[in-house]
Structure 1
C-alpha cells in the first residue's frame, strides 16, 4: 500500500458522499506521492527542491508514474511547483485506477452531489489496510486528509513528525490548498458580482 492510495480510500470512506473538492484532494495526493518517493529513496529534497535519487523503482504503478514524472534538470523543481504540475487531474487518475482494479462500485443515485458521491469503495484489503492506518491516527495520513478537506477524523499532531522533508511537503500542500481555496472564493465573488450586473442589481 502507498500513502496516496490510503489517502484516496480515506477521502471516499470518511466523506461518504459529502462534497469534496477534487482539486484539494489532487494536491494532497501529489504531496502523498512525493512523501512516499522520498521515503523510498526514489527522490530527495534539498530544501524545497526535488531531485531524483536513483532509488529502486516503486512497485505500485501509480507511484511509478509519479517517479517517472520527476524532473532531473537543474535547477530542480520546487515542491510547490510539483504539487501543481503533478496534481493536475490526479484525483481522477486515482479514481480511474481504483475502478480499473475493481476497488470501486458506481452508485446509481442522481441526487448525490459530487464525483465522490457517485462511487463507493468495495470491501478489499486495500480498504482494510487504509482503514487500519486511519484508525491508528497516522499523523502524515491525517494531515494530508485534513488538507484535502476530509473532516470528522482525528487531528494531526505535527509535532510527531520529525522527518524534515515530510514536514516540508506537508507545509507546501497546506499552502497550495489555501491558495486554491482562495482562488475559488475570489471566483465565486466575481461570478456573483457578474450575475448581479447581468440582472441589473
Structure 2
C-alpha cells in the first residue's frame, strides 16, 4: 500500500474544490512516507524517534530515496524533524514523479486558465486504488488529507485511530502544520512592519 502516492493523487483530484498549500501537503506526504516505510519494514518507531531497519528496495523510487535518507546514527531523528527535513519540496517531487509515470497529465486547450493547467490524475490503476481507499474512509489517509488541508476531518474519525504509532505520526504532522502557519503569520507581520517603516509610518 502506497499511502504517499494515494495522498498525492487524492490531493490533485480534489485541488479544484480544495486548494492545497504546498507546504502542508509536503509535510503530510513526508508523514505518509513514514507509514509506507513502516509497512515495508524499513523503519520502526521508538517513542518519537525513527529507528532505521534493514533497507530493502520498495519498488518505488521516492520511497527508496526516503529510506536511504534515514538518519542511521543515534539518537536518530524525531518524527517531526523528519517531516521538516524530508518534506522540503516533497509535494513538487511527487507531482513530477506522478507525471513522469504517466499517472497525471496537463490539460490542453486555448481557454484553460493557469489554475486549470495544473496536472490532473488520468484514469489508471493507481488512481482507482487511491479513489477506492479514499471512498472506504481509510482513517490514516483521511487524517493525512485533513492535515494537508484537502478536507475537514469528521469529528468521529479520530475514534478509529487508536494505534500508538499512528497517533504519534499524526500528532507530529499536526504540530508541524500548526508551526508552518505560525511561521507564515510571523513573516506576514514582519513584512507588513517593514512596509510601514519603508513608507514612513
Global fold match (TM > 0.5): yes
Is residue 121 of structure 2 the alignment partner of residue 112 of structure 1?
Answer: no
When residues 14 and 153 of structure 1 are mapped into structure 2, their CA distance, relative to the original with a 3 A threshold, is: farther
Contact 1:7/1:144 (8 A) holds in 2: yes
Report the alpha carbon displacement of residue 163 of structure 1 after superposing the two structures with TM. 2.1
Which runs of 5 or more structure 2 residues have no equivalent in the other structure?
A: none
Which runs of 5 or more structure 1 residues have no equivalent in the other structure?
A: none
Report the alpha carbon displacement of residue 71 of structure 1 after superposing the two structures with TM. 1.3
What's the counterpart of residue 83 of structure 2? 83
Is residue 135 of structure 2 the alignment partner of residue 132 of structure 1?
Answer: no
What's the counterpart of residue 177 of structure 1? 177
Provide the aligned length of Structure 1 versus Structure 2. 198
Q: Aligned partners of 1:196 and 1:169: how far apart in 2?
A: 41
When normalised by structure 2's length, the TM-score is 0.90
Q: Aligned partners of 1:156 and 1:68: how far apart in 2?
A: 37
When normalised by structure 1's length, the TM-score is 0.90
When residues 57 and 67 of structure 1 are mapped into structure 2, their CA distance, relative to the original with a 3 A threshold, is: same
Greater shift, 84-93 or 153-162, is seen at 153-162
Contact 2:50/2:77 (8 A) holds in 1: yes
When residues 193 and 156 of structure 1 are mapped into structure 2, their CA distance, relative to the original with a 3 A threshold, is: farther
Is residue 45 of structure 2 the alignment partner of residue 45 of structure 1?
Answer: yes
Q: Aligned partners of 1:40 and 1:118: how far apart in 2?
A: 31
Q: Aligned partners of 2:92 and 2:161: how far apart in 1?
A: 29
Report the alpha carbon displacement of residue 16 of structure 1 after superposing the two structures with TM. 2.0
C-alpha deviations, 1:80-120, integer Å up to 9, x for none? 1111111111111101101111111123534428xxx6221
- SS of match in other structure, 1:45: strand
When residues 177 and 197 of structure 1 are mapped into structure 2, their CA distance, relative to the original with a 3 A threshold, is: same
What's the counterpart of residue 5 of structure 1? 5
Q: Aligned partners of 1:65 and 1:95: how far apart in 2?
A: 16
Contact 1:38/1:44 (8 A) holds in 2: yes
What's the counterpart of residue 158 of structure 1? 158
Q: Aligned partners of 2:156 and 2:172: how far apart in 1?
A: 16
